[in-house]
Amino acid sequence: MKASSKKMVRFFLGFLGTCMICVLAVLCFFTLWNKNNSPETQKAPSSPDQADLSLPLEENQDQATLPKEEEKEATNTPSVSNKPEKETDEEVQTDPAEQASPEGSSAQNTTAKQPDEQTPSKETPEAFLASMSLEEKVAQLFFITPEALTGFQTVTATGETTKAALDRYPVGGLVYFAQNLVSPAQTKEMLSTVQEYMNDKQGFPIFLGVDEEGGRVLRIGSQKAFSVERVEAMGELAKQGDRQVIREAGNTIGAYLSDLGFNVDFAPDADVITNSENQVIGTRSFGTDPQTVADMAWAFCEGLHENQILASYKHFPGHGGTTEDSHSGYAFSYKTLEELREMELVPFQSGCEKGVDFIMVAHISLPNVTGSELPASLSNVLITDLLREEMGYQGIIITDALGMGAIAKHYSSAESALLALEAGCDMLLMPGDFSEAYSAVIQAVKEGRLTEERIEESVRRILLAKLR
């Protein structure tokens, strides 16, 4: 009996063990089956091109297009010298299903970001602004000589020193003079190298400017080495009374500027001569009749525009009534605002309506308009209230050279730069001390005297012109 009981117990325990093994086997089978068919354990990608496609589409896009500059900002180490590299087709990966069907084939595609609604286009001012540091934005406000940029006495080539300086100060524009321009081949090489470098670095061009009006203001046309037609002074050509003659003059100048690599001409002179004793302008002006000056100035712009050269009306609000020269000190106009509207402002109002690319503001003082001797280039009354708001100008407002006597004898480079920006200027031409002016603007933003939004207003206008 005892032996029989022991056998039954062993049999029963063996049976239970077998059952438990079977149950465990079944459970393991279902567990493995569920795991292999779960979306969380898809097969590993078979090639590097597919490596990110296991992420939801939104994550994939964000990681693929994240600018390197944003990564630096996240670690509190902003850099002026390192711009995000331009994206390529390989860097921005997309779902193969999207390529096969415009509508997509999965639920993930229906919830992906819409670029038009969520993120700006790569080629818009807003997109560039979003990736720029404060230092880069402030640098865009400056239009300086290559000597001011590099510290060299004379610059005739774009070498490693220029590139290193542009890494530190990616300025909005460089202006060249006769000393920089030796021959056609040298000028083309110098300008093409700097333009290519800046396009690769930041994704948009740098302004490369020159004063080429005709007559006595010719940085290139006055040099035999360039073998270009020497265009007469606008005042002389305008005596023919034919706007087509002026347009052809603008076309001639624009053609050789474009061929050399320039994209900005600080011309035409839109001053109306209202004082026969005026010598600083003279035949640079189209004449004494405001409507004639307006028509001729725009004809010259048309000639430049035919060659993709941006134009600049100067010297707002009108330098044709002064006797003094603002290059050496204060120059005054005692006109009232009503008198200006009838004469000096007519060509500038026309330029505002037609959309001239730049308007250069003079350093002349108009005490009967502003109530002080503050130069126009530093006057909120003349720049913001009159030019921007009343006259409706939407383009780039640039100062005349800030190193001229009317400014340099009375203001530091730092203070003149800040006053010009506070008055409403977008670009600062040739401050006496570029480094001092640049540092002052950066500091003014950090201390709250200027806002970054104010800086962005001007940079936005600059980028619009560059991307046009």
Show which residues are catalytic.
327, 400
Q: From 423, 422, 334, 426, select the one nearest 386 (Cα to Cα).
A: 423
H or E stretch at 196 = helix 184-202
**What 8-state DSSP symbol labels residue 269?**
B
Count H helices and E strands in the chain, helices first.
22, 10
| Beta strands per DSSP E along 317-453 | 358-361, 396-399, 428-429
Residues in CB range of 209: below 8 A, 6 or more apart: 143, 173, 174, 175, 176, 262, 263, 264, 265, 266
C-alpha to C-alpha distance for 138 and 130, rounded to whole angstroms: 14
The values of phi and psi at residue 159, to 5°, are -110, -165
| All residues at 6 or more sequence positions from 86 whose CB lies less than 8 Å from its CB, including other chains | 200, 203
Residue type, 68: K
Alpha helices (H) along 243-289 = 243-260
> Residue 121 in contact with residue 152, Cβ under 8 Å?
no
Torsion sign, CA atoms 174, 178, 183, 186: negative
Pairwise CA distance, residues 421 & 377, whole Å: 9
Q: Do 255 and 263 touch, CB atoms closer than 8 A?
A: no
Q: Tell me how far apart the alpha carbons of residues 310 and 263 are, in angstroms, rounded to a whole number.
A: 6
Task: Put the strands of the sheet holding 310-316 in their side by side order.
Answer: 396-399, 358-361, 310-316, 264-265, 207-210, 173-176, 142-144, 428-429
Pairing of strands 264-265, 396-399: unpaired
